[in-house]
Structure 1
Amino acid sequence: KTEKFSTVAKLIIRVGRKRHPTTDSAFILTLSLSELTQQLKEGSLTPEDVLYSYMEKTLAVNKKLNCCTEILLESLDQLTTVGSNKDGLLYGVPVSIKENITFKNHDCSCGVVINLDQPAEKDSVLVQVLKKQGAIPFVRTNLPQALLNYDCSNPIYGQTVNPHNPQKTSGGSSGGEGALIGGGGSLLGIGTDIGGSIRIPASFCGICGFKPTAGRLSLQGLRPIYRGQKSVPSSPGPMARDVDSLALCMQALLCDHMFSLDPTVPPLPFNMEIYRSSRPLRIGYLESDGYTHPSPSMARGVREVKALLEQAGHTFSVSEQTVFSCANDLFHFREGGPVDPCLDILEILHLCLNRFFVTFPCARNCIQTFCFILRSVPELWKQHAAVEDYIQETIAHWRSCNIDVLLCPVIGPAYNFLYCGKLSTAVSYTILYNLLTFPAGVVTVSTVTTKDEEELKHYKGCYQDMWDKLFKEAVSGGEGLPVAVQCVALPWQDELCLRFMKEVEQLVKESKK
């Protein structure tokens, strides 16, 4: 697969250089998405210039990181027609796509051998909308086997590594996207998130990622490993270098074309007024969830951002939340091929559940969301009712705190290999907001320092048990790696969440000057 990818990419690049010998690829690669779209619409750059520049960069990045699964040759055909759509918000922009998002005539294997040679009959709704907006999907990206991990490895395409340290994982399940964007091979990609699968690789790879409110974007054409699980819905969302790019992508996707293609999506266009608002925010603050104690860099990142926000005139309220970690034991894919090493350790998830039930026995019904141990229809209804109650209780607590948004940690820094499967407990920081359906995003704010590493030597965790020890081992050796924070808002307040993320990004940028 890797050899085929390289061969195809080299042929395309050779043609591009011959047709566009004066293209300044180095300059194109430095442009932000907003700068790039402006120059494309003005005509100072052509879609051909941009596509061939990113194709060449992607080849170089993939050679080091193994983050891509295939080149989309259809992107070359699209170059001949995209010129008629200059009004599209993403006119001429190359976009990378996670492998489980259907693309006509291409497999959606989800990293599972038995899913090969089953090409999709049509594009997913999101791909159709991207094309309508003038974007050019040009490459598909890697993911973990069966999407059942927040690592990024499978028997078909192999292990994706971190752009900042090849001895670390890129995270997952949208790990190919995180690595490609973090390595400079793409400036906008589409991932999916059911437990942190956009936010964790964004944290590990030093980029921005956004999980919208569940149901805000169409799920038609997104392939899960197992259909029918409803209690914790998946959310597709954008991944990019900066928050403005996330907002532009959301604005492009939330259009009449998507609402027409998928009538189950509420017809709510992007509210630019909320995104551009400058009113002071009332912010909830969470440094530890009381279940997985944050690494020193995770906690420091939140504290430093909190101080910057306070200096900028925003007000804070300390929040206490009971959270949980979920697990999924859908292993039917084992029957059709080899199991990736990063998944073997998932057998210990039942032990993780035992730890959780001892700590939070009241959450047993919610944890069953991902553990298919329900034996009857009444039990299923009871589980759904428990989830509904939990969402309403959390919203009530949120409102009693009188906050607009929440600042909290996200897992980091990037793990050493083979620890993601051992540490399903640590996704408590991200999976909570999938269960709640709240929009949540990640912004990179710092890097791991020598002092962080020194403090990590004294890390004990919340319970001093096996998982606390494993977490310490997983994040060790992280000096210089990205540090991120997580921003959260109430359901359907996606624009407010992005506005909060933009505020964090801008304040951090100004503080570094």
Structure 2
Amino acid sequence: MYGYYIHLPGSRGAFHRLWLLVSCDFCVLRLATLVLCPSCVCGQSCPDTRGGVWVVLLTCCSILFQHPVTDPSGILSMSLVELTEKLQAGALTPEMVLGTYMSRTLEVTRELNCVTDFLPECEEQLQSLQERSDRGPLYGVPISLKDNYNYQGHYTTLGLIKNLERPASEDCVIVQVLKKQGAVPFVKTNIPQSMLNYDCSNPIYGQTLNPHNHKKSPGGSSGGEGALISSRGSILGFGSDIGGSLRFPSAFCGVCAFKPTGNRLSKIGLVSSCPGQKSVSAMLGPIARDVDSLVVAMRALLCDDMFQLDPTVPPIPFNDEVFSSTRPLRIGYYETDGSTMATPSMRRAVLQTKDLLEKAGHQLVQFNPPMVASSLFELAMKGLLADGGSTFLDNFKGDRVDANLRTQVTTYSLPSWLKSLLSVVVKPLVGSPN
């Protein structure tokens, strides 16, 4: 280690020094990775570089947060609903819970490389929570944040090395709201470079692995969140989604996520690789191990604090009456959209869900969504790349391009006349949009 030490368990100084230890060693680790290991710079994982540091950090955590009464496995096995109840009742303290999840997170990210940054400010937040007379609905709940969430004093990199020079000047609105509701952000998680990719790798932090199969991808772009939540390194995380960036990692990692309607939650302070693109709206949302946890998160977020911090968000609180209603619903479903064919397992999942909903008393109506392919190309793709991809390409000027993005960047970089020629050649092979 680099001159930092740890007090005996139980002192507040110990907590602070462990965070200092974690943060400093993580910075040294990344610098060493970039300078000493060219393979990592090219987007490859390098366990040999990380291993020694993480072993010591895990040992420190296991000693520091050892508690004579609380079983860490018990805390990790609780649902968010159970955890919030015990925190509110005082059966668990925020320090116990955070310590347990931090130790687990260190263990998980050593295996999967899903965490990019630790947030030592959480110690001050724990102290302020104890001084508050009101306990928010997320009191003492440790949460993880996708890399693109601004957190004051920390980097929002998007996997771009040049962004390591610009730490965020303030928290994004959602982080401010989460803190007001009692949540404790403690880590940020990995993403694909630029976020416009369905894998999870970048030249700064390397490749994140799927928790169920290390040869597979966790999905993207909220892949670090999917891997961490699935491995019980965090009980509640927050990502973003424009074309599946929450939904793909949830499917690949076996967890649950929710993409709200556009502008339902504030996006102030969330960083994009294509700022100004308004045609296809991105939206942030929660990711957790079960649906009930998503409900807890949305109920907490849709509050006056957010509506005051961002007046552009419709001031519509969570409607418990509608959510709790047992009135039968009429629900449309389809097995395929006619453009992208579903796998047999996907069709089976849809039909199993249909059967469960019908048994619950709801009416299921099959329908065929119209003009899917033409809408995808004419509205979504042309909206996202209305400038021919020039804003996207600006991100990579003077920066390294991750191996997973090279084909994408090369294609966008082609001159317009060549793109037009290629479209004429390829169109007969793929057919016209319906």
Give the TM interval when normalised to the shorter protein. Answer: 0.7 to 0.9
What residue in structure 2 maps to residue 125 of structure 1? 173
Task: Give, in whole Å, the separation in 2 of the partners of 1:360 and 1:253.
Answer: 43
User: Would you say the 8 A contact 1:194–1:232 is kept in 2?
Assistant: yes
> Which residue does 1:310 correspond to in 2?
358
Task: Answer yes or no: is the 8 Å Cα contact 1:212–1:235 preserved in 2.
Answer: yes
The amino acid across from 1:49 in the alignment is: M
Residue identity in the other structure for 1:299: R
Please tell me whether residue 111 in structure 1 is matched to residue 159 in structure 2.
Answer: yes
* Runs of at least 5 residues in structure 2 that lack an aligned partner in the other structure: 1-25, 31-52, 413-418
2:89 matched residue in structure 1: 42
SS of the aligned residue for 1:89 comes to coil
Q: Is structure 2 residue 315 aligned with structure 1 residue 253?
A: no
The counterpart of 1:271, out of the listed 298, 313, 319, is: 319
Shift of 1:32: 0.4
Alignment-derived partner of residue 68 in structure 1: 115
The higher relative CO (CA closer than 8 Å, separation ≥ 6) is in 1
Match of 2:127 among 80, 84, 90: 80
Equivalent residue for 2:399? Answer: 337
Is contact 1:171-1:204 (8 Å) kept? yes
Please give the alpha-carbon distance, in whole angstroms, between the structure 2 residues aligned to 1:333 and 1:312. Answer: 49
Q: Secondary structure at the match of 1:83?
A: helix
User: What is the RMSD computed on CA atoms of the aligned residues?
Assistant: 2.3
CA distance change for structure 1 residues 65 and 352 in 2, over 3 Å: closer, same or farther? farther
Q: Tell me the SS of whatever aligns to 2:269.
A: coil
2:194 aligned counterpart, secondary structure: helix
Give, as a single letter, the amino acid of the residue that structure 2 aligns with 1:172: G
Per-residue deviation, 1:82: 1.3
**Alpha-carbon separation, structure 1, partners of 2:315 and 2:327:** 26
What is aligned with 1:26?
73
Deviation at 1:273, TM superposition (A): 1.2
Moved more, 348-357 or 231-240: 348-357
The alpha carbon displacement at 1:358 in A equals 6.3
Shift of 1:357: 11
1:49-448 paired onto structure 2 within 5 Å: 49-85=96-132, 86-321=134-369, 322-324=371-373, 325=376, 326-327=380-381, 328=385, 329=389, 330-346=392-408, 347=410, 359-361=431-433
The C-alpha deviation readout for 1:177-223, integer Å capped at 9, x for no partner, is 00100111111001001111111111111000001010010000000
Deviation digits for residues 67-110 of structure 1 (CA, Å, limit 9, x no counterpart) = 11011111122111112345201000000000100000011110
Match for 2:287: what amino acid?
M
CA deviation after TM superposition for structure 1 residue 6, in Å: 3.6
Residues 360 and 277 from structure 1, CA distance in 2 versus in 1: closer, same or farther, beyond 3 angstroms? Answer: farther
Q: Secondary structure at the match of 2:372?
A: coil
Contact kept, 8 Å, 1:155 with 1:338, in 2: the verdict is: yes
Greater mean alpha carbon deviation, residues 211-220 or residues 332-341: 332-341
Partner of 1:486: none
Contact 2:65–2:96, Cα closer than 8 Å, also in 1: no
Equivalence for 2:33: none
Give the Cα–Cα distance (whole angstroms) in 2 for the partners of residues 39 and 352 of structure 1: 59
Provide closer, same or farther for how the CA distance between residues 356 and 248 of structure 1 changes in structure 2, counting only shifts above 3 A: farther
Q: C-alpha distance in 1, partners of 2:300/2:432?
A: 42
Structure 1 residue 308: deviation in Å?
A: 2.0
Compared CA separation, residues 139 and 7, structure 1 to 2 (3 A): farther
TM-score by length of 2: 0.78
C-alpha separation in 2, matches of 1:9 and 1:240: 26
Deviation at 1:17, TM superposition (A): 2.3
The 1:138–1:337 alpha-carbon spacing in structure 2 relative to 1, beyond 3 Å, is same
C-alpha displacement of 1:289:
1.1
Between Structure 1 and Structure 2, the one with more strand by share is 1
**SS at structure 2 position matched to 1:218:** coil
Shift of 1:24: 1.4
* SS of aligned partner of 1:317: strand
Instruction: Describe the shift of the 1:53–1:221 C-alpha distance in structure 2 as closer, same or farther (beyond 3 A).
Output: same
State the shift of 1:48 in Å: 0.4
C-alpha distance in structure 1 between counterparts of 2:396 and 2:274, whole Å: 13
Kept in 2: contact 1:9–1:55 (CA 8 A): no
Q: Is the 8 A contact 2:191 2:202 kept in 1?
A: yes
Aligned equivalents of 2:350, 2:428: Cα separation in 1:
25
Unaligned runs of 5+ in 1: 363-513
Could you tell me whether the CA contact under 8 Å between 2:331 and 2:364 is conserved in 1? yes
What SS is found at the alignment partner of 2:239? strand
CA contact (8 A) 1:216 1:266 kept: yes
Instruction: Please give the TM-score of this superposition, normalised by the length of structure 1.
Output: 0.67
Per-residue deviation, 1:320: 1.0
Amino acid at match of 1:318: Q
Matches of 1:286 and 1:355, distance apart in 2: 27
Please state how far the C-alpha of 1:157 moved relative to its aligned partner. Answer: 0.5
Give yes or no for contact 1:8–1:71 (8 Å, CA) kept in 2. Answer: no
